[in-house]
Chains A and B, each alone.
Chain A
Amino acid sequence: MTETTQPQAWSIQRSADSQFKRNWAKLRRNKAALFGGILILIYVITALLAPVMFPGSPSAPNLSRSLERPSIANPLGTDELGRSILGRVIYGSRVSLLIAIGVVFVGLLVGVPLGLVSGYYGGKVDFGIQRVTDSLLAFPGILLALALVAVLGVGLKNTIISVGISMVPIYIRLVRGCALSVREQTYVEAARAVGTRDRTILLRHILPNVMVPITIQTSLGMGMGILSAAALGFLGLGVQPPTPEWGAMLGSGRAYLFHAPHVATFPGIAIFLAVLGFNLAGDGLRDVLDPRFRL
């Protein structure tokens, strides 16, 4: 046979961002995800523009105006120390956003490498990591975070570390499971066959292929993190007053639930909407990025 026919160059030009565009269109059609995204957007903007939206200190007490009902001057009323609840909810968004990001960061930083190594190498390494993961998963997440706070102490940094660590096993399991299936793919074998190092295979071939579930879990994890941190705050073991934190506000408002319900209600709504936003966005991302993937 002489020169074989060249495969026709159809030269279909696909712009690099077409994948992104398609996903974005799908995401927009998903009403729940869109709603979640809008909630997150409002929340982030509030956190960034807090000083503009509420000039003045959210923590300065004004005892002469304690436990006032919602009015023009204080749209959401005041708490037991006369501080504007609106201001504290607005500033609280900064704290909880910081917690959400920090918690997920800790979870990713520890969980993803351990999960990758565990899934890729298997054997004794896997066994070791998985037994530790098992024992961490044996506790309900909040209980584990509580125990860690008991060891580390209260405060913003320790809340982030505690809740973050309680989320680590979730990431380990997720990433390990995905790495297990990806490492059996022929392209991983092919990469090994050209002499690629294990580290390169993990970072360049396996990690990008498990990014979708990680992204989804990150969004869901932020919601979970806010909720857990708020729970710690509610118990008085999280971020300490006078820092405005939704969980702690909820906790202190509990005492006045009957004659000043607004004190506990508004931070509660804030927590609810923030968590709802992240969960809806996470579910939406999952539907868009990988319809086969179900948590």
Chain B
Amino acid sequence: MKQESLLSIINLRTRFHIYEGMVTAVDGINLDVYRGETLGVVGESGCGKSVTALSILRLLASPPAEIQGTILFENVNLLDLNLDEIRRIRGNAISMVFQEPMTSLNPVLTIGEQISEAIRLHQGVARQEAWSKAVEMLQMVQIPSPDMRVHEYPHQLSGGMRQRAMIAMALSCHPRLLLADEPTTALDVTIQAQIVDLMERLKEEFDTSIVLITHNLGLIAEMAKRVLVMYMGKVVEEASVEDLFQEPLHPYTQGLLESIPWIGKKLKTGRRQLQEIPGMVPSLLEMPEGCRFHPRCSRVMNICSKEEPPLVQKGGRRVLCWLWA
């Protein structure tokens, strides 16, 4: 079932020039997002998830960051667009929800001003109309008494409400693609569930594709259909949610899944202790030779430290590991 691809990223490489040298945050990743689907991207902090999202909208400051590759959105390469053209895409065709609802709203502007700003920018409607659309959007994200809340400042809202407001802002122009960068990380669990429900519902309503970036595997299981697992700037595994959770192929994915606490569950080893992935993510400046995961891998082989593993296709899944080569 090959659907139409909304966004396809081909060999994206994002590098930063820093004082100590050159850091490759995203190293040649490929991904496709189909219309109406939710793609999950998981990985540890610093694995390049957010940088990928920011690269898509070209929100990284250009001189320190160097973006190479192709990012096709509706068959247009976003990296070829000039600043005005990409600005018309931002918030309109592709929009973004950030991790921190506490800081992603401007403290000196009311919620209504911030939402209607985006609407006025892209839809060229009058102030009055944009304002009533903002109220409508707040209604849609289930903020109670929206006609009152629209006049309030961010500090007057709770964390969950701010994230709803952010989602309202992101969806106000009915984008085809929503980049959700850890949308629920800063919220507590009950609010997380509400936000997840809300995003699911709005996705259906507006027929928006979502790229869900998170380190929360539970959230991925709940929302995503396909999952990419990233490690140190590379996609190490790509699979459907069912496959990934039932039979993770990459040792890193296995490690990730084993490090989730399951209440009452006996682990394969018979121990009840939680497994962790030994070691730490190496610095991007000291990239290990061969497979990047080999110093921490539980099933490391000789070849792993010498040569980069190939990308193995295995029944509609992809995995970057010597084990399956």
Identify which of B155-163, B260-268, B277-285, B288-296 touches chain A.
B155-163
A208 touches B197 (CB 8 A): no
Kindly list chain A residues whose C-beta atoms are within 8 Å of the C-beta of B90.
192-195
Q: Is B308 an interface residue (CB 8 A)?
A: no
Chain A minimum-CB-distance residue to B173: A194
With a cutoff of 8 Å between Cβ atoms, the chain A residues found around residue B117 in the complex are: 191, 194, 196, 200, 204
Chain A residue nearest to B172 (CB atoms) is A194
Residues in A whose Cβ lies below 8 Å from that of B76? none
Interface residues in A, total, Cβ within 8 A: 31
A6, A191, A205: which has the most chain B beta carbons within 10 Å? A191
By the criterion CB–CB under 8 Å, are A193 and B96 in contact? yes
- Tell yes or no: A52 within 8 A of B by CB: no
Find chain A residues with CB under 8 A from B95 CB: 193-194
Indicate if the CB atoms of A209 and B91 lie closer than 8 Å: no
Mark contacts of B81-115 with chain A using CB atoms, 8 A cut-off: 1 yes-contact digit, 0 otherwise: 00000011111100110111001111111000000
Task: Tell me the minimal C-beta distance from A183 to chain B in angstroms.
Answer: 10
Interface residues of B in 144-165 (CB under 8 A from A): 144-145, 148, 151-152, 156, 158, 160-161
| Residue from the set A4, A190, A205 with the largest chain B CB neighbour count within 10 Å | A190
Chain A CB within 8 A of B325 CB: no
Most chain B beta-carbon neighbours within 10 Å: one of A11, A186, A197: A186
Chain A neighbourhood of B88, CB < 8 A: 195
Are B98 and A195 interface neighbours, CB within 8 A? Answer: no
Q: Is B57 an interface residue (CB 8 A)?
A: yes
State A123–B148 Cα separation when bound (angstroms).
Answer: 42
Give how many B residues have a beta carbon under 8 Å from the other chain's beta carbons. Answer: 43
Complex: how many Å from CA A193 to CA B91?
Answer: 6
- Rounded to whole Å, the gap between the CB of A6 and the closest CB of chain B is 6
A185 to B88: give the CA distance in the assembly, Å: 22
The reply to whether B91 and A204 form a contact with Cβ atoms under 8 Å apart is no
Chain A residue numbers with a CB within 8 Å of B57 are 193
By the criterion CB–CB under 8 Å, are A6 and B91 in contact? no
Instruction: Select which of A123, A192, A205 is within 8 A of B106 by beta carbon.
Output: A205
Residue of A nearest to B96 (CB): A193
CA distance A5 to B117 in the complex (A): 30
Residues of chain B within 8 A (CB-CB) of A123 are 63
Residues of chain B within 8 A (CB-CB) of A7 are 142-144, 158, 160-161, 194
CB contact between B108 and one of A11, A14, A192, A209 (< 8 Å): that residue = A209
Q: Does B232 count as interface, using CB distance less than 8 angstroms?
A: no
- Say yes or no: A1 contacts B197, CB within 8 Å: yes
**Which of A11, A190, A204 is B145 in contact with, Cβ under 8 Å?**
A11
Q: Is A24 an interface residue (CB 8 A)?
A: no
A9 in contact with B145 given A186-B100, A187-B105, A193-B91 (CB within 8 Å): yes
Are A187 and B106 in contact (CB-based, < 8 A)? yes
Q: In the assembly, what is the distance between CA of A188 and CA of B118, in Å?
A: 13
CA distance A270 to B90 in the complex (A): 57
Query: Which residues of chain A come closer than 8 Å to B152, judged between CB atoms?
Result: 14
Smallest CB gap from A16: residue in B: B151
Partner of B103, one of A8, A9, A16, A186: A186
- Quote the shortest CB–CB distance from A294 to chain B (angstroms): 20
In whole Å, how far is A163's beta carbon from the nearest beta carbon of chain B? 31
CB B155 to nearest CB in A, in angstroms, measures: 10
With contact pairs A195-B118, A204-B117 given, residues A190 and B148 touching in the complex (Cβ less than 8 Å): no
A1-58 at interface with B (beta carbon < 8 Å): 1, 4-9, 11-12, 14, 16
For A290, the chain B residues whose CB sits under 8 A away are: none
14 A-B residue pairs with CB within 8 Å: A4-B197, A7-B158, A7-B194, A11-B148, A12-B156, A185-B103, A186-B98, A186-B100, A190-B104, A190-B169, A195-B118, A205-B109, A208-B109, A209-B106
Known: A16-B151, A195-B121. 7 other contacts (CB 8 A): A4-B142, A6-B142, A186-B99, A188-B106, A194-B90, A196-B87, A211-B108
Interface residues, chain A, with chain B CB atoms under 8 Å away: 1, 4-9, 11-12, 14, 16, 123, 185-197, 200, 204-205, 208-209, 211
Give the top 8 A-B pairs by smallest Cβ distance, nearest first.
Answer: A194-B91, A195-B90, A9-B144, A195-B91, A194-B118, A208-B108, A186-B104, A186-B103
